[in-house]
């Protein structure tokens, strides 16, 4: 984001709220070409969005106004620039449904707490698809107003050129095209009279104050009910267990029947068909972003997508015959190269460490020198209190103390911004090592906490190897 864009956002903010900003933070890039930042002052936090695609923005503005009038939980838009390329909207925090899954699953697997959040989403989904979608202005949809046969064929060919060909999977072009036509003709029979988000997945659902909120619906259009349900339940990296997926599917059908009658057998068959095409679309996207655009972290989702694909192929049971498509999809699931693509070594290794200033800054083992050193000593020190002296930054009690008794969020947000900028450049330039060190007085509390939290963040946001060392805990 250019300095001139930031200045524009500051002016928009100050004109809208008659307030000045105190802090500015660039947010990590998403899968889209939009850019985001967060602006804050003593009592307010907002998200600023920059997108040069005006037609896409207009769809977002229109949908947002309509959904809010229908009491659908989406962010409020506070102000829009005159050229419609910049807008400021409500800050829904940093916790996506995906973030929540990762956090909870690390403690207690795919537990009832996660399932409860999914059910909140699925309770609202039929209302959005049927009631809120009924009077929507579909004339603003971009790039098209309906997910029809042509749209399905676009996705299928996207898969062919950016997944099959780039992955070097052989296929009979004409036989595959015949199967594409057969599948698209079948799926259009499901109807397309409902609102379809198009990218209804766990990263586009925010959790805040016990509620779920929806974002990134600017690609919405008319479509089949099954598509968004598939997008959520077969979200690759969410990695929903099959028994939970069935439970959530049944829960959605029960909610859907409050709005219209459902033939479960027919609905389920179409669901499986749309699951195939959604996974193919995702594989195409991963291939385009990963192989073609050289954004390696997109490739890490491929093994999860292949796992879902294998489960589907084992129980496909469609009322149509797709011999060549089935063959190449099975070839994909059996590819050891593809299954291991996300687990290989990244070109960039981040060496993260915590240390005690009493013993000095750790030596950079890579031999490159440089890197970051962050001083945690300005944070409130739990080590000064007897009850915390024998604990470390890995312990819950210490983490709670730091989060409640210091300005750790401001500190870590600044760290993430600085480190993130360097990592993006290092990845582009093919660098192999980056060192990041957190120091505090004793090297056991604040520095350990900070290094642990940054390690979690980097593993999730960037295609890097993270090597974490706590110097005072390992002696």
Q: How do residues 319-337 score in pLDDT, each as one tens digit? A: 999 999 999 999 998 877 6
Higher pLDDT, 364 or 216: 216
Report how far residue 108's alpha carbon sits from residue 128's, in angstroms, rounded to the nearest whole number. Answer: 31
- pLDDT, mean of residues 52-77: 97
- Write the pLDDT tens digit of every residue in 287-320: 887 777 766 667 778 888 898 999 999 988 899 9
Instruction: Report the distance separating Cα 236 and Cα 38, nearest Å.
Output: 28
The per-residue pLDDT for 299 is 75
DSSP helix/strand/coil, 421: helix
Question: What is the pLDDT at residue 150?
Answer: 92
CB of 234 within 8 A of CB of 279? Answer: yes
Across residues 169-173, what is the average pLDDT?
A: 90
Average pLDDT over residues 219-233: 96
Q: Is the pLDDT of residue 365 over 90?
A: no
Average pLDDT, the chain: 90
Higher pLDDT, 459 or 216: 216
Tell me the per-residue pLDDT of 88-103, one tens digit each, with 9 for 90 and over. Answer: 999 999 899 998 998 8
Q: Hey, what are 300's tokens?
A: 């890490």
Sign of CA pseudo-dihedral 203, 207, 211, 215: negative
Domain with CATH 3.90.1200.10 in the chain: 97-339
Q: How far is it, in rounded angstroms, from Cα 389 to Cα 383?
A: 5
**Is a pLDDT exceeding 50 seen at residue 57?**
yes
CATH number of 97-339: 3.90.1200.10
| pTM, to two decimals | 0.72
Peptide bond into 206 cis (omega under 30): no
- Provide φ and ψ at 163, rounded to 5°: -125, -65
Band of the pLDDT at 344, cuts 50, 70, 90? very low
Q: Does domain 3-90 have CATH number 3.90.550.10?
A: no
Q: Would you say residue 12 has pLDDT above 50?
A: yes
Q: What's the average model confidence in pLDDT over 142-154?
A: 92
Contact 192, 224 (CB under 8 A): yes
Q: How confident is the model at residue 474 (pLDDT cuts 50, 70, 90)?
A: low
Q: What is the mean pLDDT of residues 370-376?
A: 90
Decide which of 34 and 61 is more confident: 61
31 pLDDT tier (thresholds 50, 70, 90): low
**What is residue 260's predicted lDDT score, i.e. its pLDDT?**
95
- DSSP classification of residue 294: -
Which region among 22-26, 344-348, 463-467 has the lowest average model confidence (pLDDT)?
Answer: 344-348
The pLDDT of residue 163: 86
Answer yes or no: is pLDDT of 475 > 60: no
**Res 367: pLDDT:** 58
Reply yes or no on whether the pLDDT at 345 is more than 50. no
Q: Per-residue DSSP letters for 144-195?
A: -SB--HHHHHHHHHHHIIIIITTTT----HHHHHHHHHHHHHHHGGG---EE
Kindly report the length of the chain: 475
Q: Cα–Cα distance between 472 and 475 in angstroms, integer?
A: 6
| Rounded (10°) CA dihedral 400, 404, 408, 410 | 140
Domain with CATH 3.30.200.20 in the chain: 3-90
> What pLDDT is stored for residue 46 in this prediction?
97
Residue 128: other Cβ atoms inside 10 A: 25
- pLDDT for residue 302: 85
Q: What is the pLDDT of residue 303?
A: 84
Question: How many CB atoms are located within 10 Å of the residue 211 CB?
Answer: 11
How high is the pLDDT of residue 339? Answer: 67
Strands (E), 404-458: 433-440
Neighbouring residues of 159: CB distance < 8 A, sequence distance ≥ 6: 280, 281, 283, 284
């Amino acid at each position: 984001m250019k300095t001139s864009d930031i200045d524009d956002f500051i002016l928009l903010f100050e004109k809208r709220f008659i307030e000045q900003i105190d802090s500015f933070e660039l947010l990590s890039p998403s899968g889209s070409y939009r850019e985001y930042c967060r602006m804050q002052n003593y009592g307010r936090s907002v998200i600023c969005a920059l997108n040069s695609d005006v037609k896409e923005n207009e769809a977002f503005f229109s949908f947002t106004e309509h959904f809010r009038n229908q009491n659908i939980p989406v962010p409020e838009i506070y102000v829009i620039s005159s050229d419609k390329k910049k807008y400021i909207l409500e800050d829904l925090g940093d916790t996506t449904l995906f973030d929540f899954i990762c956090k909870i699953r690390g403690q207690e697997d795919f537990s009832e707490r996660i399932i409860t959040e999914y059910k909140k989403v699925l309770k609202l989904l039929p209302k959005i698809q049927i009631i809120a979608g009924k009077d929507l202005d579909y004339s603003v949809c971009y790039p098209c107003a309906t997910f029809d046969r042509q749209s399905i064929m676009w996705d299928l060919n996207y898969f062919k050129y950016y997944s099959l060909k780039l992955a070097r999977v052989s296929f009979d072009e004409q036989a595959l095209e015949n199967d594409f036509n057969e599948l698209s003709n079948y799926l259009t029979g499901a109807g397309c009279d409902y609102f379809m988000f198009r990218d209804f997945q766990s990263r586009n659902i925010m959790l805040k104050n016990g509620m779920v909120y929806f974002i990134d619906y600017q690609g919405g259009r008319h479509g089949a009910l099954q598509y968004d349900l598939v997008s959520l339940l077969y979200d690759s990296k969410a990695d929903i267990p099959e028994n939970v997926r069935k439970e959530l599917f049944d829960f959605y059908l029960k909610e859907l029947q409050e709005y219209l009658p459902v033939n479960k057998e027919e609905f389920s068959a179409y669901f499986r068909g749309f699951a195939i095409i959604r996974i193919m679309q995702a594989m195409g996207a991963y291939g385009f972003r990963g192989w073609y655009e050289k954004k390696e972290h997109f490739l890490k989702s491929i093994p999860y997508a292949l796992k879902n694909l294998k489960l589907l192929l084992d129980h496909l049971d469609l009322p149509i015959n797709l011999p060549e498509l089935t063959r190449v999809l099975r070839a994909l699931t059996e590819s050891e190269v593809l299954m291991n693509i996300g687990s290989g070594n990244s070109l960039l290794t981040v060496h993260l460490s915590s240390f005690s200033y009493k013993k000095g800054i750790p030596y950079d083992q890579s031999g490159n020198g440089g890197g970051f050193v962050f001083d945690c000593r300005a944070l409130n020190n739990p080590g000064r209190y007897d009850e915390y002296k024998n604990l470390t930054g890995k312990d819950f009690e210490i983490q709670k103390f730091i989060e409640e008794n210091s300005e750790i969020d401001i500190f870590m947000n600044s760290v993430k911004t600085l480190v993130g900028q360097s990592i993006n450049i290092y990845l582009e330039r093919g660098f192999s090592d980056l060192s990041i060190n957190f120091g505090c007085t004793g090297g056991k509390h604040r520095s350990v906490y900070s290094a642990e939290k940054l390690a979690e963040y980097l593993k999730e946001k960037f295609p890097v190897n993270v090597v974490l060392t706590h110097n005072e805990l390992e002696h």
